[in-house]
A and B are shown apart, each in its own frame.
Chain A
Amino acid sequence: DAGVIQSPRHEVTEMGQEVTLRCKPISGHDYLFWYRQTMMRGLELLIYFNNNVPIDDSGMPEDRFSAKMPNASFSTLKIQPSEPRDSAVYFCASGGQGSYEQYFGPGTRLTVT
């Protein structure tokens, strides 16, 4: 398996624009997680899904953030409109039922100017 795949790897956009981050989890994994990493706040869980259903979205910072998982092999995290304070590295991770490990993707580095 290729591991968790995220795209794009880097995104630079202007304030006010819509940003869509994409994730393909490892095939067969039931759980999918979106994290945000910044120097100030470290690694924060934004939302996670189990069998494509959102389980906990309490970490989503504002209504500008939304996440979907239309099927078992694809998820998106959308920010609309984007703001400079959204600049961070966004990680997607997946895990299998009964597994203790979350497998992380390489991340998307987002810069909002």
Chain B
Amino acid sequence: AQSVTQPDIHITVSEGASLELRCNYSYGATPYLFWYVQSPGQGLQLLLKYFSGDTLVQGIKGFEAEFKRSQSSFNLRKPSVHWSDAAEYFCAVEGNNDMRFGAGTRLTVKP
């Protein structure tokens, strides 16, 4: 069955530093992969998605992610983090009729 794992529960980075959030998937075929962000009191917002084609996907708010089949990974990156990026980030893979989410990575941004 399709699933994703986010190995990091909590990450702290300094404002202006680069960011990489890890996501590993389990799926036999080519997966449909997503990254969502959830700020306190807000709904989940889609950052980017990968279906096929170019393995480097650009998203909103300056985020990008790279699909690596050999490593079963879909890591999220941002070259320079802003204080407003502090939130919970979820990786997800499409299931049969649903989205299957990882447990999330909480990002703290230090001034």
| A, B bound | no
Seen from chain B, the residues whose Cβ lies within 8 Å of a Cβ on chain A are none
Seen from chain A, the residues whose Cβ lies within 8 Å of a Cβ on chain B are none
